[in-house]
Structure 1
Amino acid sequence: MTISDTHFDAIIIGSGTSAYYAATGLLKANRRIAIIDELPFGGTCALRGCQPKKYLIANAEAVANAQHLIGKGIEAAPRTDWKALQALKNEFLEGRSEEDLKSWQEDGVTTFRHRATLTGPNEVTLDDARKLTANHLILATGSSPRPTDIPGSEHIHISDDFLSLAELPKHITFIGGGYISFEFAHAAIRAGAQVTLLHRSTRPLNGFDPDMVDVVLAASREAGIEILLEEEPVSVEKTGASYLVKTTTAHTIETDFIVSATGRLPNLSVLKGDTGNVAHGPKGIEVNDYLQSTTNSAVYAIGDCASHGLMLATVADDHGKIAARNILEGNTTPVDHRVVPSAVFTIPTLATVGLTEDQAKAQGLDFRIKHGSPTAWPSSKRIGETHAAFKVLIDNKTDLILGAHLVRHNAAEVINLFALAIAYKVPAKDIANFLWAYPTSTSDIKSMV
């Protein structure tokens, strides 16, 4: 290969959604780009996370919605056909990676299906010893499941394995009380499995409003999920076709499949050897407000591997756009993620945006709280919803929304309207007086403010 073959305006390592938006921005400016990924092109969200997960969640919601109406207009709930569900999900995934790869190549991107390591400030070495250089390196390497290091950990699986199960085990144990465990626990219980969930502290779903989490816990337990708080596994032992999980309180759980979902860590394998002069820590690659490495001006880090921002697909997408703009324009656009809605796809859905009650109090703000349960409202009664709640924080001086926290059907959709209200400073009185389409989940926000 000649120098012109191995030097680029930008090299992007990783091929997920953050990489997509970074590459798209640079391609519009006619920059010469290379994308490197050792895994199939497309990234975690499209291939191993958000999108395939929603196939399982949508099925679980359909089953749960019918279950909630048994005796109220529905005679019997449907049953999940796990193999058919997996076939539907796999139909979505079939050929996606190859299509992405072909699309990039047609757009003029040079692609490498290799493992890459930074071996200099502007240099990348592939696992076949080829060296590539670029004016800018964009690290979009994502994150990886936090490993579990206990005796018998070789029997423990990660979320990718659960997503691709050909057959549903009779009993599944989830380790960790974050959104991945809770979402998959709800998918599994509605599909007919028995489910146990272990969490090491008294408060799962950390970061969400505690009152809303309590509603999720009540709904989860009523659905049949066994939730054991202040419990951690200390060992796993195979016994015949099943496994014995022993916990910190000497509890023993017999199970058929174990999934560890105790969080994700930035994937920093690209920095192996630390020869690229890129500072990094437990939160990822250390970047400034422009997503530029604090120690190597040629490097930008975006998405889950960066120290700036939450590990959310929407944040990663925005990172990609911002990094491309800053490379082209010279650091003109800082990251601004003050308003980022998020959701946990349990049944009912948990959603949040803005400040929590504790955060607002810590800032000494003068605010009022609208807190209640909509289970007596027609929108809940007509679908048999018995677990639901809302909490909205409103500034007393400005009448602006400070934060919104919801647990109910369609909460993931409604939270986006609260996010818009916060971002564009729409007063609560204007939300209450707006002529929303009625009767809808959206129109209920009038009663929440």
Structure 2
Amino acid sequence: MTKSYDLIVIGSGTAAMVAANRMAAAGKKVAVADYRPFGGTCALRGCDPKKMLITGAQVMDDIRRMRGHGVAADGAHIEWRDLMEFKRTFTGPVPGKQLKNYAAKGVDTYHEHARFAGPNSLELERSGIIEATNVLIAAGARPVPLGFPGEEHLMDNEGFLELDELPARIVMVGGGYIASEFSHIAARAGAKVTVLQRGKRILSQFDGDLVGWLMEAFDAAGIEVRTGHSVEAVEKTDEGYIIRVRSADGGTAAVHADLVVHAAGRIPDLDSLGLEAAGVERDQCGRLKLNEHLQSVSNPAVYAAGDAAAQGPPLTPVSSHDAKVVVANLLEGNTYCPDYRAIPSVAFTIPPIASVGLSEEEARSKGFKFSLKSEQASTWYTARRVAESVYGFKVMVEEGSKLILGAHLVGPHVDEVINVFGLAMRHGLTADDIKSTMFAYPTGASDIGYMV
């Protein structure tokens, strides 16, 4: 007999966990299917393990900056294998904990591939057909195809986070979050790192002026960044890899490496789901066609969340938010829409760079009238206390309303401080509200009043 559910979730990451737990708490019969270890990208193969490795890299940078200022740590270095084992103390238990949590809530779990067999049914590779009133696609993302010869030789970000040994020469293909964060980890662990970015600059999601200031930290770490360089091919040799590169001016070069990492972005992982069998349509870019309620426009039984929905920024809090919206719509009818206002974004370089709201270019193109405060603030106490030369901000405040339109920060503690700006923007607090707030001092947040 075919098993039936109120909701089947494809995937087991943040969106899947939130949706499954909430539906089960509402008394609904729920199943979760994932062919990979339960836990999803953020907990197992992304945000959390990455930041555990960054902790080790941060310590090394703290020592570098404080050398000569009272700290003597000659010979200090990262033991890569031990750092990786520390990471696994977190990631290792995650799948078991999640399965135990689902069992306690009465959620059925299927550790196998799932693909649509009909509008509201799935075929599992071992368990056969299961069906549900609704299906939530929360299958995450995969590396974008690169399309050059030798692409198969590249290791993806997930492989990098499982390396038992760190190669001496590493090339990052791409210039976004993955390339920037991983290059800071690897360089401070002793690797020679080269970033190859075909665009004019790296970290295009962030303010160009602040990225320019951040490049000082790349230089200090010995990371070579080549912008305007497109990879044309990767060849495997007995000694490692040769990366054939063409620059924007038409010149060619060969870069030698022991490891080449795919850091050129990710796309929704949808191709293996058999969407055609369910009548779930995709647009010309391959994304799901969804309405404002995160529901398939062609199959009302199907919803999507997180990377699979690709409606908001590709961030973990967005996945959680999407899942809450979907569950509310399933339980109460389609009355809820996602709200992607003022979502902070951080690249965990050393130091980090952070952003929330409009860029300067976006604010001008939308016709806003605003005041702009921007400064390289390396002489401020927050930076001097930790001997950090990279510290700065750009904040835009609308004339009249005094609402914050956008905040862009780089330097120590900005990964936390940006959340205060996000809170203010999402809840309509003005620059005057922020100025009148008494923050604990001395902290990174105590600088906010001088930034608006």
> TM-score of the superposition, structure 1-length normalised?
0.97
SS at match of 1:251: strand
Distance in 1 between residues matched to 2:186 and 2:198, nearest whole Å: 21
Distance in 1 between residues matched to 2:441 and 2:48, nearest whole Å: 30
Aligned pairs for 1:2-151 within 5 A = 2-3=1-2, 6-76=3-73, 78-128=76-126, 130-151=128-149
Once the two structures are TM-superposed, the CA of residue 95 in structure 1 deviates from its matched residue by 2.5
2:322 is equivalent to residue 324 of structure 1: no
Aligned twin of 2:314: 311
Q: Which deviates the most, 322-331 or 60-69?
A: 60-69
Q: Which deviates the most, 189-198 or 275-284?
A: 275-284
Once the two structures are TM-superposed, the CA of residue 269 in structure 1 deviates from its matched residue by 2.8
Distance in 1 between residues matched to 2:309 and 2:334, nearest whole Å: 17
SS at match of 1:236: strand
Once the two structures are TM-superposed, the CA of residue 129 in structure 1 deviates from its matched residue by 6.7
Aligned twin of 1:210: 208
Q: Deviations over 1:222-273 (max 9, x none)?
A: 3210001111221222232321111013211111111011110111134326
Distance in 1 between residues matched to 2:272 and 2:147, nearest whole Å: 23
Aligned twin of 1:377: 380
Once the two structures are TM-superposed, the CA of residue 430 in structure 1 deviates from its matched residue by 2.0
| Amino acid corresponding to residue 85 of structure 1 in structure 2 | L
Conserved in 2, the CA contact under 8 Å of 1:25 and 1:325? no
Conserved in 2, the CA contact under 8 Å of 1:303 and 1:320? yes
Aligned twin of 1:351: 354
Conserved in 2, the CA contact under 8 Å of 1:36 and 1:114? yes
Conserved in 2, the CA contact under 8 Å of 1:117 and 1:269? no
Distance in 2 between residues matched to 1:263 and 1:309, nearest whole Å: 16
Aligned twin of 2:417: 414
Distance in 2 between residues matched to 1:425 and 1:306, nearest whole Å: 27
Distance in 1 between residues matched to 2:393 and 2:195, nearest whole Å: 25
| Amino acid corresponding to residue 311 of structure 2 in structure 1 | H
SS at match of 1:280: coil
Q: Which deviates the most, 134-143 or 91-100?
A: 91-100
Conserved in 1, the CA contact under 8 Å of 2:25 and 2:105? no
SS at match of 1:285: coil
Distance in 2 between residues matched to 1:306 and 1:382, nearest whole Å: 43
Once the two structures are TM-superposed, the CA of residue 66 in structure 1 deviates from its matched residue by 1.5
Distance in 1 between residues matched to 2:365 and 2:148, nearest whole Å: 38
Q: Deviations over 1:380-424 (max 9, x none)?
A: 111111112100000111111111000011111000000011111
Conserved in 2, the CA contact under 8 Å of 1:283 and 1:306? no
Distance in 2 between residues matched to 1:380 and 1:337, nearest whole Å: 32
Distance in 2 between residues matched to 1:444 and 1:291, nearest whole Å: 39
SS at match of 2:218: helix
Conserved in 2, the CA contact under 8 Å of 1:283 and 1:307? no
Aligned twin of 2:399: 396
Structure 1 pair 114–328 and aligned structure 2 pair: CA distance change class (3 A): same
Q: Which of 366, 385, 390 lines up with 1:387 in the alignment?
A: 390
Aligned twin of 1:170: 168
Distance in 2 between residues matched to 1:387 and 1:339, nearest whole Å: 25
Distance in 2 between residues matched to 1:294 and 1:273, nearest whole Å: 13
Unaligned runs of 5+ in 1: none
| Amino acid corresponding to residue 317 of structure 1 in structure 2 | S
Runs of 4+ off more than 4 Å: none
Conserved in 1, the CA contact under 8 Å of 2:275 and 2:281? no
Aligned twin of 2:296: 293
> TM-score of the superposition, structure 2-length normalised?
0.96
- Count of equivalent residues: 446
Matched-pair identity in %: 40
2:425 is equivalent to residue 425 of structure 1: no
Aligned twin of 1:362: 365
